[in-house]
Structure 1
Amino acid sequence: MLVDDQKMIRQGFGYVIGLQSDMNVVGEAADGIEAVAQAIALQPHIILMDIQMPGMTGIEASKAILKQLPRVKIVMLTTFNDPDYIYEVIRSGAVGYLLKDADVEDMLGAIRSAYRGEAVYRTDLAANALSRAVSSACLVPDSSADASLLEPLTEREQEILQEMAYGLRNDRIAQKLFISEGTVKSHVHRILQKFGCGDRTEVVVTALRKGMVK
């Protein structure tokens, strides 16, 4: 689903998405209020959501949508590569952040990554800004963070969680930590279980909110 107050943006993104064999646009909205109503009615897999819109912002709309549809993946759209925006995106529960002037392949890649349950904050487009956002936000680790998990993370699981927050795939994590990809998959599975999350995106966003990764 596409959400932007500029019709030209919606048409442009819609045209490109319509050319893909593995995705299609199920609906559009021109503001946050309409986005919430459309999302509840259509229940799309992915929402591309503009941040700055009249009435209800994309941040506010995302929070409202995710209260009703926690499995929907929202990727925020903006013209500003601003750390403050990225931090607010994280807080809203969106799974990614994309600049409107991104290359077509970057945009399509972000959609596919979000659909696979991957966080897309650590793409080339947003890596530096996200790092600044997390640092400047002065996230203080929640002393009760482990208590909110089904079981505390082991030292190795914490290492892998950090690499997941950096956006690394299992094969890259395996190379970096000098362990097998199968071992990484097992640890990721355990991390998902301990967080009670359905996919990597939920885990990363939750960990960022709790200050468990940096």
Structure 2
Amino acid sequence: MTDSTKNIRVVLVDDQTMIRQGLGYVIQMQPDMQVVGEASDGEEAVELVGKITPDVVLMDVQMPKKSGIEATREIMRMHPAVKVLILTTFDNHNYVVEGIRAGAVGYMLKDADSQEMLDLIRRASQGEALFHTVTAAKALAEALKAQPSVADVTVAPSALLDELTDRELDVLQQIAYGYRNDQIAQNLFISEGTVKTHVHRILQKMGVEDRTQAVAKALRLKIVK
């Protein structure tokens, strides 16, 4: 039976049982999240996500039957609202690039601190882009540059700049830097409620569903750094 008070539903995907058990123990201790399923390979992960549609998936890369990258690609095609965090042992450039292209919203090393992991899960569930290692940052820029979106072709940067206010552009830049709403509020000397309002309007004007897509589009159109 699921606990309705725990609003972040997480699926763990890793071929090592001890890794899943360790991650699961930490996650289950949190008041706002719960593990709703586990899978030991990519095929099982795709099937499981299709049955229970979690909020966040922690996805290992190297697994039998189907890799984490392949599984992520299939999951995003069928369930685009699910947020996938790539989980791996190595800060590998190719894994990051392929993970981004597959639709993952973040990249996490297995030796990350438990509090960092929990923070990433919470932020991923809110649609934030979470590629914060040096390798990931470079790979993110490369992947976005190399993979233009068809939707973006119809929107000129100047037209989008006309739509967004100066303050919305400030907030969008802060999002691109990876800041949370509370940090943006502090940096721009505005309330967190005002930040949320700006974020909502930015997503509407840009025609995207979440912060990750907003940053990707803004980078492609070169309206943020």
Per the alignment, residue 3 of structure 2 pairs with: none
Matched, 1:131 2:131: no
Q: Taking CA–CA contacts closer than 8 Å with sequence separation of 6 or more, which of the two structures ends up with the larger relative contact order?
A: 1
Is the CA contact (8 Å cut-off) linking 1:82 and 1:129 kept in structure 2? yes
List per-residue Cα deviations over 1:37-90 (Å, max 9, x = no partner): 000001111111001112211111111111111111111100111233222222
Per the alignment, residue 50 of structure 2 pairs with: 40
Q: Distance in 2 between matches of 1:115 and 1:134?
A: 19
Cα 1:27/1:55, change in 2 over 3 Å: same
Cα 1:140/1:94, change in 2 over 3 Å: closer
Cα 1:62/1:135, change in 2 over 3 Å: closer
1:88 is aligned with what amino acid?
E
Is the CA contact (8 Å cut-off) linking 1:95 and 1:114 kept in structure 2? yes
Pick from 39, 63, 79 the counterpart of residue 53 of structure 1: 63
Q: CA deviation at 1:163?
A: 2.3
Pick from 75, 80, 88 the counterpart of residue 98 of structure 2: 88
Is the CA contact (8 Å cut-off) linking 1:73 and 1:115 kept in structure 2? yes
Greater shift, 81-90 or 4-13, is seen at 81-90
Give the number of aligned pairs: 208
Per the alignment, residue 10 of structure 1 pairs with: 20
Per the alignment, residue 152 of structure 1 pairs with: 160
TM-score w.r.t. the length of structure 2 is 0.78
Q: Which runs of 5+ in 2 are unaligned?
A: 1-10
Quote the sequence identity (%): 51
- CA RMSD after TM alignment: 2.9
Q: CA deviation at 1:130?
A: 2.4
Cα 1:206/1:136, change in 2 over 3 Å: closer
TM-score w.r.t. the length of structure 1 is 0.82
Q: CA deviation at 1:211?
A: 6.4
Q: Distance in 1 between matches of 2:195 and 2:153?
A: 21
Is the CA contact (8 Å cut-off) linking 2:152 and 2:217 kept in structure 1? no
SS in 2 for 1:44: coil
Q: Which runs of 5+ in 1 are unaligned?
A: none
Q: Distance in 2 between matches of 1:81 and 1:199?
A: 25
1:110-129 equivalences in 2 (<5 Å) = 110-122=120-132, 126=133, 128-129=134-135
Is the CA contact (8 Å cut-off) linking 2:203 and 2:210 kept in structure 1? yes
